Structure formats: structure tokens, C-alpha cells
Amino acid sequence: METEIDKYIEYLRVEKSYSNYTESNYLIDLDNYSDYLKNNRINYLNITYKEIVEYEKYLKEVCNLESSSINRHLSSLRSFYNYLELHSLIKSNPFKLVNGPKRPERLPNYMKYSEFEEMVNSCDETPLGIRNRALLETLLATGARISEIINLDVDDLDLNNGEVKVLGKGNKERICYLNNHAISSLNEYIESSRGELLNNHQSNRLFINHIGGDLTTRGVRTILDNIIQKSCMSIKVTPHTFRHTFATMLLNEGADLKTVQELLGHANISTTAIYTHITTDYIKDIYLHSHPRSKQ
């Protein structure tokens, strides 16, 4: 099985152009699955529905994985068996018969606009503070994933037209838009502090860390934690919080779901639809505080 796994990972890299991060996750899931099959003397080419159900039970009860992790694991295996079917190593994909556990619905967390303003206002006028302000404004203006933001090059920006070219999942390009605050902050960052942070290093990346290297996802999380601590707020903010806030704000202001889907780069509109739950609660709250028969 190890040989087929290696071929499959190479297929993901060459044919599908998957990122190293995605490849790594697939490999971890497949290696765990391979170990399980060896320990239970199961042939991966002849696995039955009942054996898959037992494996799912093993992931839950022995590995203590949550529903989301189990579903990701099963998705990796479903894709692997699609590959085996495509190359005529099996007649049909047995993992297509398995749905996986139902995930508990968790609404995404988002910020109030006043909380975002407080974060922006806490950024000072040092090179790092100017960079942080530009980063915050870009995150909220575009609603882009953090991986998309840290991989932006300076050449991806068109500040004159308020646009930025983003490379999303599956190497799909889309255009995100920048408001005046983001344009102003980015101009200031590029003209005054980015060069100082580079410190004679060479890089095309837009956002640079404190020693002139490329900014990482972990680096952004640290930046946000420091900003929250400095602003003395008691809220939980991750890079994805900005994406959730972006979608929620647009829907609350009347944007249609299809437009928000395209701006977020969601392949399926059902992924975007979760934000309607948030806006429904928002509308209900407005009603209860505004209708004269709802007031105490």
C-alpha cells in the first residue's frame, strides 16, 4: 500500500497542484489508515463497508477524534480510493457508501465593528505598527483566507483601482477589493515601513516579519494575540475571525448570498449559507429591541 500512497501523493502534487500543507495532511491520514489495516490484517484493495464502519468507530473511540476530524480523515480516504478506481486498481470506491458522523453545527465567531476599530487604533506608528494596521485592514477589506494573505506579492496589488489578485484553493484566482482605509494603510506600509522591515533582504511578499522574512500563519496569530492584549479586549480573535466578520457585515448590510460566495471564493454556496444563521439572529435582536410591543 505504501507504494500506491507515494504514487497518489505525487499525483496530488503534479496533477492537482495541491499545496505542501494539503499533501502533508493527506499523507498523515493515509499512513494512519495503513497502520490500522496492517494491525488488523485487512487488504486495502478488498476492504468492506463493515470494516470501514469499524475503522470510523476506531477513530472515534480509540483515537478520540472529533466529528470534523473523522470526516476529514474519511474525505482523504475517499479521494485516495477515487484515485485507485481511476487507475483500475479497484472496481468501485467503497468509501462513497460512508457518510461519516454528523458534525454539530457551530456558528462562526465574528467581531463587532467597534472591536475592529479598537484593534486598528491600538497599532502605533513604528514600522511593525504600520505593518500591523495594513494587515488588519487587508484582512477585513478582502475577507481572504490567511493563507491567501500571507502569499500575496506586492505585484498582486492594484491600489489605484482598489483591487488585489488572490490565489485561492485549487490555484483558482479571484479579485478581492480594497476600501479606502485599506488602500491608505497599504500605501503607508509599502512606502514607509516595508523597506525598513526588509533590512536589505530581497522578497516579493507583501507582508514581511520583523527580521525581513516572509510572514507565516503562526506569525499572524501571534500578531493578533499581541494586538488583543495591547488593546485590553477580552475577545477571541483568529485570522479566520476576519473572514467571518467580513461575510457577516456584508450580509447584514444587504449583500446577496451569491455575491458573498464569490468574494469569499467558496466553491459551494452551502458553505456560505451558514452566515445566514448569524444575520437571522442579528435581525431578531434588532426586532426585539425596536418593536414597541417587544419592549418592556
Residues recognised as catalytic:
145, 169, 240, 243, 266, 275
Q: Which three cell numbers stand for residue 278?
A: 448569524
Exposed, middle or buried by CB within 10 Å (0-12, 13-18, 19+), for 234?
A: exposed
Nearest to 197 by CA among 214, 180, 182: 214
Over its C-alpha atoms, the chain yields an Rg (Å, rounded) of 23
CA distance between the termini of the chain: 68
Nearest to 157 by CA among 202, 119, 189, 201: 189
* Residue 48 falls in which region: left (phi positive, over 0), alpha (psi -120 to 50) or beta: beta
What's the CA dihedral at 189, 192, 198, 199 to 10 degrees? -160
Q: Residue length, the chain?
A: 296
Handedness of CA 22, 209, 185, 228 (dihedral sign): positive
Alpha helical stretches, state H, the chain:
2-14, 20-39, 49-61, 67-86, 113-121, 127-142, 146-150, 180-188, 194-198, 217-231, 239-252, 257-264, 269-272, 275-290
Q: For residues 58 and 52, what is the distance between their CA atoms, to the nearest angstrom?
A: 10
Q: For residues 183 and 163, what is the distance between their CA atoms, to the nearest angstrom?
A: 9
